[in-house]
Structure 1
Amino acid sequence: MRALLLAALLLTTPAVAAPRVSLIKACETPKEIVFQGGGYGGISGIDHEPRSDRWAFISDDKSEHGPSHFFLGRLDVRPGHPCGPVLETMVPLRREDGTTFPDRKDGAEAADGESIRFDPLSRDLVWSTEGDFDHGYPPSVRRMKADGTPLERTVVPDSLTFHAGGLTGARKNATVEGLTWSVDGWSMWLSMEWPLAQDGPIPSVAEGGLVRLTRLDRAGRVLAQYAYRIDPVQEASPVGVNDNGISEILTLDDHRLLVLERSGVKRADGRYGYHVRLYLADLAKAQDVAKIDSLATLPVRTVEKRLLLNFDRLGIRIDNLEAMAWGPRLKDGARTLVLASDDNYDANQINQILVLRFAP
């Protein structure tokens, strides 16, 4: 009897239980905050540096509301405390010659900061910019000091950048949205927002699409690449404007990532609504597709994904969540997961910060 009971337990118990994610608090930062000449808006990437307990917040402002910039500051993740943020320094983003990025209307390369990370092996920061399809500036990852001094620019691999005519390669304004270091810091993950042009259509209400997750070494060389299937668009738009894509990724361990899918829908009144889902992506059994030119031409073993949280079910307003980072641990040992929204400097959107409890 004992043997039969043990066998039944083994059959009904999953080998690896899914982490549990719950909301600790939601905060809304006032609009039109200007700090040291930079507007707190358009927040597309955040990260936490445990040694100093400082946070970085990057804006995707293309020098239209002050210089393109990021902030350094503090954030209180404890339950029952305001979650700010408390801004300490505004740091302009700079090109390799030391000059600040110009307004995109000038035709020169503008900054389109989408993700920012502290380098776990140094005190530097890296940040991704989506590039500019119209003016021929490719997506890239840039390294800088904490004071904004530029150190290095790495253009993304050729398969992920823009190609003449747009029939292959990255789609306009849908390139490198997500960036995260591996656990050991010796490699980096990049995620595309939408499928490459040759990998199939962008998601619709009827079907999703295949997006590439790419692992690079510290020199920017491709180590591996995997196909991740994003969901269909979550809601039809009465004016035909909606999408779904990856807005950020975050390393959990050597073969698992957290993936934030964000679906935006333009409604009849012109305002946008957002549907956001958090997935656990397991790459252990996925096929390396780095040498496959088109994912639309043959079947591939995609990344396994498991839904951790549907933000629609939190019972609160959810805005354009684009930023995600690990925060300090709570007293009970659980991790905190912090998300922030990009308000697009739109009066109808909010600057939102969510603090989640992440328990394995």
Structure 2
Amino acid sequence: MTWKAILVGSILRISLAAMLFSDAALNAASPQIELIGKLAIRGDHRDATEDQRKLEDGSHANQFGGLSGIEYRGTGNRFLLLADRGAGDGAVTYHCRYHEVELAADPATGTLSFQLESTHLLHTLAGEPLVGSSAAHQQHQHNKNAKHAWTAFDPEGIRLLADQSLLLSDEYGPHIVVVDPSGRISYEFTVPDKFRLREPENGVVQQGIYSNRGLEGIAVTPSGNRMIALPQSPLIQDAVIEDGKCLGLNCRSLVFDGNHNCIREIVYPLDNLASGTSEILAIDEERLLVLERDSKAGLEAKTKKIFLIDIAGASDVSGIESLPKTDLPENIIPAKKSLLIDLLEPRFGLGGENAHEKPEGLCWGPRLADGRRTLWVCCDNDFDASISSEIYCFAVDGLDR
């Protein structure tokens, strides 16, 4: 064998070893995902308020459901579940609320357990009920009296703060508020004006959040010094209105500092024009998870995904009045994005005919005995008594740095 053949053989062996090492390193770094279990709560389940009244559409005032957000209390198996605006898509004066529940996962049996502990009603700073009525929201929009306080609320995101108060986001205003342990609003963030829901001018809305596409999720980083709120879809000025839908890929998120000041707006790129965001959850100060989905159930469902994003190098677009519907200019860098979990992946058994229309909430739960983190997902049944509220628990390994 000549020296050239020996050299070529050595180079090939080194290259192959490098490739194998690279693949092994990549695989080792890839998070490992396991579905621990799935829980279904009957659509006619009642909450803990004992309110026996019936609302305008005949739905029960104490009907459990509409789960739009989930958060871990930080000890034991205690979680918070946030209900949205009630039955009938805003047609009723449902008193907004959240629930405290016990949720436990048993990896050995692949089962989840659920126990409702209490229900807490939400109130304005003045003590008035926060209601999911779209009529109440429209009344506030049209009321020119500056002293008229808003009472309409469509809760979508919930996070526990260090002082045990709650951070909530909603779709109507949209609003971001801090709620004290009694359920009363104690503070409201200032949301940039460009995100406000506007009234039509000459029959057309030119700016702001598109109706019912407000702040779907909110995240708090581990330090507590950064909070990120994410709308369901792009702002009207960053999209095109077609067939009653706000279509675009570039979804602005709001970044607040520890003093509740909005310091940045960054772009989260949606996967396709048919999907929107449902939740955002912090891993650390720069990495987050985003739940993105379409509005289809069963075999028609195509997108029910949890993405890992990194906002470290994302551009601040707060000074940009309007973004393109799809492609961004080269000088605008969106959040980096990669797929973590496809909920419709066959191995999980959550897709096909079983696909729930609305996976809505995400939170971390207690670690398992083997050190893996638990990631919990809750699904919104729109208070439909014929549809179960579903909760999933995943074990996630490999995201810690």
Question: Residue 315 of structure 1 aligns to which amino acid in structure 2?
Answer: G
Question: Residue 332 of structure 1: SS of its match in structure 2?
Answer: coil
Question: Residue 156 of structure 1: SS of its match in structure 2?
Answer: coil
Q: Which of 72, 78, 103 does residue 100 from structure 2 map onto?
A: 72
User: Which deviates more from structure 2 when the two are superposed, residues 291-300 or residues 190-199?
Assistant: 291-300
Does the alignment pair 1:353 with 2:380? no
**Map of 2:38 onto structure 1:** 26
Does the alignment pair 1:88 with 2:127? no
1:139 and 1:155 in contact (8 A); partners too: no
Deviations 1:69-94 (A, max 9, x none): 11112111222375343111110011
> CA offset at residue 8 of structure 1?
4.0
**Structure 1 residues 203 and 40: CA distance shift in structure 2, 3 A:** farther
Which structure's residues are more often helix, by fraction?
2
Deviations 1:275-308 (A, max 9, x none): 3111111222322212212121961222221111
The normalised TM-score by structure 1 is: 0.85
Does the alignment pair 1:315 with 2:343? no
Q: Which of 339, 347, 351 does residue 377 from structure 2 map onto?
A: 339
**Map of 2:283 onto structure 1:** 252
Number of aligned residue pairs:
340
Question: Residue 237 of structure 2: SS of its match in structure 1?
Answer: helix
Q: Give the distance between the partners of 2:14 and 2:20, measured in 1 at CA.
A: 10
Question: Residue 30 of structure 1 aligns to which amino acid in structure 2?
Answer: R
**Map of 2:364 onto structure 1:** 326
Question: Residue 70 of structure 2: SS of its match in structure 1?
Answer: strand
**Structure 1 residues 203 and 16: CA distance shift in structure 2, 3 A:** farther
Question: Residue 244 of structure 1 aligns to which amino acid in structure 2?
Answer: S
Mark the runs of 5 or more structure 1 residues left unpaired by the alignment. 132-137, 234-242
Q: Give the distance between the partners of 1:11 and 1:81, measured in 2 at CA.
A: 34
Question: Residue 100 of structure 2 aligns to which amino acid in structure 1?
Answer: L
Q: Give the distance between the partners of 2:393 and 2:297, measured in 1 at CA.
A: 27
Q: Give the distance between the partners of 2:69 and 2:268, measured in 1 at CA.
A: 21
Question: Residue 261 of structure 1 aligns to which amino acid in structure 2?
Answer: E
**Structure 1 residues 62 and 315: CA distance shift in structure 2, 3 A:** closer
Q: Give the distance between the partners of 2:286 and 2:45, measured in 1 at CA.
A: 39
**Structure 1 residues 30 and 225: CA distance shift in structure 2, 3 A:** same
1:42 and 1:60 in contact (8 A); partners too: yes
> CA offset at residue 17 of structure 1?
2.5
**Map of 1:306 onto structure 2:** 338
Question: Residue 226 of structure 1: SS of its match in structure 2?
Answer: strand
> CA offset at residue 329 of structure 1?
0.3
Does the alignment pair 1:123 with 2:164? yes
Does the alignment pair 1:49 with 2:89? no
**Structure 1 residues 95 and 199: CA distance shift in structure 2, 3 A:** same
**Map of 2:129 onto structure 1:** 100
**Structure 1 residues 39 and 82: CA distance shift in structure 2, 3 A:** farther
1:157 and 1:221 in contact (8 A); partners too: no
> CA offset at residue 309 of structure 1?
1.6
Deviations 1:111-131 (A, max 9, x none): 211011100x21111111111
Does the alignment pair 1:275 with 2:314? no
Q: Which of 231, 235, 255 does residue 271 from structure 2 map onto?
A: 231
Identity %: 27
**Structure 1 residues 347 and 33: CA distance shift in structure 2, 3 A:** closer
Deviations 1:211-250 (A, max 9, x none): 11221013331222211111125xxxxxxxxx41000011
User: Which deviates more from structure 2 when the two are superposed, residues 13-22 or residues 151-160?
Assistant: 13-22
**Structure 1 residues 102 and 222: CA distance shift in structure 2, 3 A:** closer
Question: Residue 230 of structure 1 aligns to which amino acid in structure 2?
Answer: L
Deviations 1:257-291 (A, max 9, x none): 11100101389xxx985731111112223222122
1:264 and 1:274 in contact (8 A); partners too: no
Question: Residue 192 of structure 1 aligns to which amino acid in structure 2?
Answer: P
Q: Give the distance between the partners of 1:332 and 1:103, measured in 2 at CA.
A: 42
2:255 and 2:262 in contact (8 A); partners too: yes
Does the alignment pair 1:140 with 2:175? yes
Question: Residue 164 of structure 2 aligns to which amino acid in structure 1?
Answer: R
Q: Which has the larger radius of gyration?
A: 2
Does the alignment pair 1:178 with 2:217? yes
Q: Give the distance between the partners of 1:103 and 1:232, measured in 2 at CA.
A: 29
Question: Residue 276 of structure 2 aligns to which amino acid in structure 1?
Answer: G
1:274 and 1:318 in contact (8 A); partners too: no
**Structure 1 residues 22 and 272: CA distance shift in structure 2, 3 A:** same
Mark the runs of 5 or more structure 2 residues left unpaired by the alignment. 1-9, 52-61, 141-150
> CA offset at residue 198 of structure 1?
1.0
